[in-house]
Structure 1
């Protein structure tokens, strides 16, 4: 490995000087070749020489001239490699110099050998004494020195790794490719000059990487140094299109999938002690795929995609899956190429939108019966989730959705039905797709018993993340932002998702084939458990839309048909109140989701109270009525989920998780951020709200829905009292708002109960 001193003291200009000499050599060789052709070789074509000897001479002379030509190609390639090396080294050396300069600016010294130390000379005697007697100060200095030393070392390491790539290229460029040997042309030697010499360092690194990967696939001898070199090649060329396309083109899709399976088997099977080695290589291979497949118009992209279509449905050996404990027919099952591919891709990121969309479309075509696919193509006789080898993407489309969710724009465009409704990806995923990929076939003696396919515990996990990403414009699990509307495409996805999820255990369609609510959203089913959390986080960011719809201000039409609401970046969902309430109830099957949604909507309503001009009594009346009606509907949902009974079953950690939504505030995942004043309004009536929800549950259990809810009325009174105190309202104004909200509470709860009681 190169040292700091070597990097800083080496004269890089010698590389370009040497490159110039190699170019001159190529020019001189061209002159020799021309003279040879015009004099020596020409003799064999004249009339003065005949017989067998002239034929032999002709072949030998042609071979000699070929070598002169090959020597020129090789010399020019060496010159190009040296210039390429100079460009790389010059850039990397500047980074070393920049790291050194930054360290010095931060109060360090850097020796000629690259050793970083704290520059005590810049301190006054008093400061030096203070540091000397302050243990904390000494620790701070030591940590700072270590940080800058590591930063400098990393930059030197980058130069050293690039140097290794140059070494590989310079050693390989002089090896005769024997391009025209064995009767195919004029190359008459096995160890002559290289007519196939390349002028790019990355090409030779890729070929070397391919050689190592091929030996891994074949079970040949691969040393620790080989593995380290393959890892370095991936890491050092992560952004090089030429390296990665050359490597993958040489491997081909089939061997690339074999390689990832081999690495997986080593990591989780026969060489667990070196697991980090193989997981690093998986990351490098995934990065290689990501970089290579960026341009959908390139020949490489089109060719490799075609190879993946074929290899994606082929069956491959993967011992870690073949030897898994299984539900059905025993050991030895094989995996499909697409399952291995998505398992690999989970180790990387930065995939292009085109690649993810094309890949998703190809996988769907393989499984969608309407496209001639086989819905059972991914079926395996085991549940692969969590600790049970959850790293394996047995459902490649769902796995790809999880990967895609990291790129919100790509996910939105994939799921967006479009203004014309022609994109049916969301419809397919929610309504039409077969998600059961656990084959329950088993044998008793010689008799095969076939049961219904089951689902993994992580079923639809990718779909849930994709929905959150597509409807919010941010990665799943991101902290909440300020309340607002959404771009039209995001709102359209959420609108369609609410409609699609608004159906029960049946097919959810009327006699005309249209979706119809049944009182219970399918989201209550355990099959949708992994969708509920992400969808709840996404819905919390639609609190302004939800409040409008519950209060009767939503148009209940499709986004795109109402120009006033399909309004660019300020669009909103336009579902019916009943559909929305059923979906809110569905995601609230998990109590923490209910608390998240409640907290978000209460915050939004408090924000509206504390930021809008409500000096007009009529405006305040309308706002108070809206708050009362929404509280009634949300409390009714809380009553329907038997919140108190579920709370009793929660562990102490669970209680902290649920109630933490309120006390921790906007930084927690999914809850939008509001101002301090609005937060204090919500803080002032939290306990009263919980009492109101519990009372609502009791009324529902006793079928006394029409009865009043004194606890909820108290909650509303306290809510507006907090608002009045914060904004210095008169008692008359507060009282008017309280009465209006209390009157509207009943209509809100009844609309919710009506929606939850509906059946087809």
Structure 2
């Protein structure tokens, strides 16, 4: 970090000066010595013998100047690269420190927040500590990645300098002479060596130990340079890239465990090369590469009985890198859809091919989920509904099957991994953040994000089937809905429970879903087949309900404080009635594991279990205190509703599962120093009970009646 990089520029200047000196000597030699042998004044056998030596000497001076100038260029490139990387590393360290962390000279990341020893056994505090540890680990990894980039760059400079001073012409009559073909561009030097190793691997040869040790950092370093990346991919081409990928897949999956890490690293570096090369859709390289990939993508690189298509290998390669440009992801998605529309069975899974994506479109959607803007762009139907990608994926697509060889017959079944990428892409597109990210305050959401979730809910509830969702969609759809807890709360407590809107509500970054209450209830129920997802949704609504109560007027603030409190209690009661009914329906669903579902949902509801610690919306201090002081196990309300429904109790108007709602109101009163038995609080409980029953019944109706 403290190295004086200007010394590289000083050294470069001296090498440049040496090049000029060699050129001066070469000019003098040609004019005063070589000319004697070539101007015709000297003839005979001696002249014939001397001329080749004179030419070689002259060529060596030319080569020496070329080599010296190349070394100068490499040193200048090295200074620029090291300076840029050091700046990035300093920025990462500065950002880490802004986030309340301390970074030591050796890169160790520690927290500046003292540990509260008295709270070590508090489950909530354990969740805080876990979050802090995750933050330290993330920043430590960021610093490690930057240091690795620095190390890779250092290796690259050393390789390029070594190559520049090696004689590459074995037939010029001067063994170990100067290098007339020395490369002075650092990026090109690394690209050329990368291409050589890629071609060697692709042809089926094995790398020698030194090459295998160099290849991982070389591929990684090339991936940091757009021009070098394009040169590599342009040279080996889309077919060659796929052939190399297949070769690396085979090597990484072979019994050669001692070299698996190296092959995995080469594969990741190749994926990074694709990312860098395709990052600018306006470059001349981009369309040429895309056109070639269209042809290679539908080409069978396997056998007739065990096909492996180019897109399957290529997308499998892409999964080894984190980031790709939005335009490339969208264009590739369009091209894969166009290919499969010509042959709907093209991605049938005949057997496992490690490293390949059997369903390249679904796997691409998983990659796309790491770039939420790209996912939104790809799935957003648009204000006019002209983009049909989401509709195609949720309603029209024939999802690839998996072939099963049985006794004397061939059958097909659903791929157990089907729609996993789609769910992640929908979550990213609707929320604007990567899947499974920690939740902050509810929203805000852009128009495109809201349209994605709006159409998702509508499409999933086609023919009123929203209560049955593919298992791989349940968690990501649930997390997306969780991010819209303010919207779902608004819809569920609305007066009009039958009519939704075809379009979203609001505009700009203040956009909201506006689905019908019945559709939303059914999709919430479908996502809640996953017990942890239901626990997350319930806990989020619990916090949001507390926030609704907390924002009520203070006693004496207005002449109608009781009316405001009653309205808020009614709102909260109705939504909680819906959720308890959804939970009851899940418990009563005729599944062998219904008891397990209820127990697990309850277990996930406790502090800090599962992934719920970061999935509850951030609310104000008063609301947080309401939630923190609640001791009632909310799952008991859903179980009580389930038992009541199972008995078909005639007293359905009695709110069996409202105890949790009562406690929330009582805690609200305690927090405001109000007697729980005063008229105002009793009135709130009454309003909540009436609305709770209405919400419960609305949910039961929605779940038993197809819209």
TM-score category by the smaller chain?
Answer: 0.7 to 0.9
Q: Where do 1:13-24 residues align within 5 Å?
A: 13-23=10-20
Query: Which of 334, 338, 346 does residue 377 from structure 1 map onto?
Result: 346
Name 1:276's counterpart in structure 2.
Answer: 261
Deviation at 1:588, TM superposition (A): 1.1
Which of 456, 478, 484 lines up with 2:415 in the alignment? 456
Partner of 1:201: 186
Structural mapping, 1:70-219, within 5 Å: 76-77=69-70, 79-88=72-81, 157=151, 160-171=154-165, 175=168, 198-219=183-204
Q: Note closer, same or farther for the CA distance 1:274–1:74 as it changes in structure 2 (3 Å cut).
A: closer
Any idea what the Cα deviations from partners look like across 1:566-589, whole Å, max 9, x if unmatched?
A: 232121101111111111111111
Shift of 1:83: 3.3
The answer on 1:490 being equivalent to 2:449 is: yes
Q: Is 2:417 the counterpart of 1:477?
A: no
Going from structure 1 to structure 2, the CA distance change for 1:175 and 1:677 (only over 3 Å counts) comes to same
Q: Is this contact kept in 1: 2:70–2:164, CA < 8 A?
A: no
Aligned positions of 1:647-658 closer than 5 A: 655=599, 658=602
Structure-1 separation of matches of 2:91 and 2:430: 42
**Counterpart residue number, 1:736:** 683
| Two-structure CA RMSD over aligned residues (Å) | 4.5
State the SS of the aligned residue for 1:641.
helix
**How big is each residue's C-alpha offset from its partner over 1:719-741, in whole Å with a ceiling of 9 and x where there is no partner?**
21121111233522111111111
Shift in Å at residue 276 of structure 1? Answer: 1.0
Distance in 1, matches of 2:57 and 2:539, equals: 84
DSSP-derived class of the 1:715 partner = helix
Q: How far apart are 1:556 and its partner, in Å?
A: 2.2
Q: Is this contact kept in 2: 1:647–1:655, CA < 8 A?
A: no
- Partner deviation per Cα, 1:477-509 (whole Å, 9 max, x = no partner): 111212244222111111111000003xxxx3x
Q: Give 1:661's aligned residue.
A: 605
Q: Distance in 2 between matches of 1:177 and 1:605?
A: 80
Q: Please give the residue correspondences for 1:553-568 in structure 2 after superposition, counting only pairs within 5 Å.
A: 556-559=500-503, 565-568=505-508
d(CA) in 2 for partners of 1:502 and 1:154?
A: 48
Tell me if structure 1 keeps the 8 A contact 2:602–2:635. no
Identify if the C-alpha distance between structure 1 residues 729 and 556 changes in structure 2 by more than 3 Å, giving closer, same or farther: farther
Task: Confirm or deny that 1:402 pairs with 2:371.
Answer: no
Which residues in structure 2 correspond to 1:295-374 (within 5 Å)?
A: 295-317=280-302, 333-368=306-341, 373-374=342-343
Q: Quick one: distance in 2 between partners of 1:658 and 1:669?
A: 17
Note if 1:230 corresponds to 2:194. Answer: no
Partner of 2:669: 724
Query: Which residue in the other structure is 1:328 paired with?
Result: none
Report the Cα offset of residue 713 of structure 1: 3.8
Query: For 1:315, what is the secondary structure of its paired residue?
Result: coil
Deviations 1:97-152 (A, max 9, x none): 999xxxxxx99999xxxxx9xxxxxxxxxxxxxxxxxxxxxxxxxxxxxx9xx999
8 Å CA contact retained: 1:379, 1:437: yes
> Could you tell me which residue of structure 2 aligns to residue 181 of structure 1?
none
CA deviation map 1:210-252 (0-9, x unaligned): 1112111222242121111111212333311122112222211
Distance 1:108 1:459 in 2: 45
Q: Which residue number corresponds to residue 597 of structure 1?
A: 537
Matched, 1:747 2:694: yes
Write the distance in 2 (CA, Å) between the matches of 1:81 and 1:470.
Answer: 43
CA distance in 2, matches of 1:363, 1:20: 55
1:550 is matched with which residue?
A: 492
CA distance 1:690–1:651, shift in 2 (3 Å) = closer
What are the Cα deviations for residues 508-560 of structure 1, in whole angstroms up to 9, with x where unaligned? Answer: 3xxxxxxxx2xx32x625xx101101111111121111111111267722335
Equivalent pair of 1:81/1:169 in contact (CA under 8 Å): no
Looking at structure 2, the residues matched to 637 and 109 of structure 1 have their Cα atoms a distance apart, in angstroms, of 54
- Give secondary structure in 2 for the equivalent of 1:668: helix
Aligned residue in 2 for 1:692: 637
CA distance, structure 1, for counterparts of residue 191 and residue 233 of structure 2: 9
CA contact (8 A) 1:96 1:155 kept: no
Contact (CA 8 Å) 1:436, 1:454: kept in 2 or not?
no
Task: Write out aligned runs for 1:525-540 (5 A).
Answer: 525=469, 528-540=470-482
2:238 pairs, out of 253, 264, 278, with: 253
Q: From the superposition, tell whether residues 546 and 158 of structure 1 become closer, same or farther in structure 2 (CA, over 3 Å).
A: closer
The Cα shift of 1:85 comes to 4.1
Does the residue aligned with 2:248 lie in a helix, a strand or coil? helix
Q: More displaced, 162-171 or 411-420?
A: 162-171
2: CA distance between counterparts of 1:152 and 1:362? 34
Partner of 2:468: 524
Deviation readout 1:693-728 (Å, 9 max, x if unpaired): 223212333444761345324433322112111123
C-alpha separation between the residues in 2 aligned to 1:175 and 1:586? 67
Task: Quote the Cα distance in structure 1 between the aligned partners of 2:73 and 2:195.
Answer: 22
Change (3 A) 1:426 1:42: farther
Q: TM-score, normalised by structure 1?
A: 0.74
Q: Deviations over 1:421-456 (max 9, x none)?
A: 111111111111111331347683xxxx554x4222
Mapped contact 1:491–1:559 kept (Cα < 8 A): no
What secondary structure does 1:664 align onto? coil
Residues 261-309 of structure 1 deviation map (CA, whole Å, 9 limit, x = unaligned): 1111111124133211111111111111111111111111221111211
The answer to whether the 8 A contact 1:599-1:662 is kept is no
**Residues 551, 11 of structure 1: alpha-carbon distance in 2 compared, 3 angstrom cutoff:** closer
Alignment deviations for residues 63-102 of structure 1 (CA, whole Å, 9 cap, x no partner): 9999999987676545433433454567789999999xxx
- The one of 378, 384, 401 equivalent to 1:420 is 384
For 1:389-442, what per-residue CA distance to the aligned partner results, in whole angstroms no more than 9, with x for missing partners?
5x5421111111111111111111111111111111111111111113313476
Matched pairs, number: 645
2:527 corresponds to: 587
